[in-house]
Amino acid sequence: MHTSLMLPGGLSGEEELSLLLERYLNELSDPSKPIVVSRLIDLSNFSSEELRLFKAAWPSVGVERRRKIVGLLAELAEDNVDLDFNVVFKVCLKDSDSVVREKAIDGLWECEERSLIDLLVAMLQGDVSKGVRAAATSALGKFAMLAELGKLIPRDAAKVSEALFSIIDNKAEPEEVRRRAVESISPLSLPRVREVIWEAYNNEIPELRSSAIYAMGKNCDPKWLPILLKELSSGNPEHRFEAAAACGEMGEGRAVPFLLPLIEDDDSQVQIGAIQALGAIGGETARKALQRCLDSPEVTIRETAREALENIEFVENPLDMS
C-alpha cells in the first residue's frame, strides 16, 4: 500500500496502515466527501489484510462512486507503472454493477496472469450484461496474442481459442460480442481463424466488416493486403480507418502510396490513422509526408505526425537516446 496519510502513534506499522486504510475506505463510502485522485494511490499494492478490508468496505460505496473510482484507478495505473491495482480490479470483476465490472476489465488490460483467463472466460460465457461480455471477449485477445507468441501453456491457449470460437459460432450472441471475438482471435495462425475473418468481412453488417478489417492487421497474413488496399478507398470512413491501422500493424511498405492520400481525408480520424500507419511503416517517403504534416493548421495532426516521426526515428536508430 502506498500511503500519503499521517500515521497515528502507539501502534505497530502494520496496524497503523490497516487503521489508515479503514479510515480512508470510510471516507470513500461517504457521498458528501469528494474523491481526491492523489489519495487513490493508497489502494495500490495491497497486502492480504488490506485486501480483506477493501472487500468488506467496497459494497458500502455508492454505485456511482464505485464507477468513478474504478475508472480513475485505471487511468492512474496507465500513467504510472509503479501503481498496481490489479487485486482491486479483480474484486470489482464480481461487482453487482455491470459498469463497474466492465471498467474493471479495462483496468486489467496489462495483466497477463494465467488466473485471469478463467475469470474472463466465465464472464464472457455467463455475465448478464452484453457490455461486460464484449469487454471480457476483447480482453482475451491479449491472451490469444500470447498464445501465438508461444507464451501460454497449451492448456491455456486451448481455453482461449475454444471460448472465442464458441462465441463466434453462437449466432444468438449479440453482434457486439461476436465482433469482439473475431478481433480477439485474429492473432492466432490457425486455418479456421482465416475462415472466421473472411466470413466476417463478407457479412453485410458494416460494423462486423470493420472488425474483420481490424482482424486482418492483427492476423498479419500478407494475403490480406489486396483487401486492405482496396478498403483504403472505401466509402465507409470506419473501414478506411481500420484498413490504415491494419497496414500499419503489418508494417507493409507497399501500402505507403495508398496511405498518402488519406492524410488529406475528409474524416479526421482517418487522417490520424493514416499518419500513425505511416509512422509504423517508416521509410523515406513516409518520413517526408509526415514532415509536411508538421505544418498543418490542425494541432492534432501536427502532434500525431510528430509522434509518428519519433517512432520512425526510434525504430531506425534505437540506440540514439537524443
d(CA 48, CA 276): 43
d(CA 172, CA 307): 42
10 Å CB burial of residue 209 (0-12, 13-18, 19+) is: buried
d(CA 88, CA 86): 5
Give the percent of the chain with pLDDT over 70. Answer: 93
CATH 1.25.10.10 domain locations along the chain: 221-322
Read off the pLDDT of each residue in 249-274 and give the average, rounded to a whole number: 97
pLDDT tens for 67-94 read: 999 999 999 999 998 999 999 999 999 9
Read off the pLDDT of each residue in 32-49 and give the average, rounded to a whole number: 91
pLDDT tens for 135-169 read: 999 999 999 999 999 999 999 999 999 999 999 99
pLDDT exceeds 70 at position 111:
yes
Give the CA count within 13 Å in the CB-facing half-sphere of 308. 32
Q: What's the CATH fold of domain 221-322?
A: Leucine-rich Repeat Variant (1.25.10)
pLDDT tens for 187-240 read: 999 999 999 999 999 999 999 999 999 999 999 999 999 999 999 999 999 999
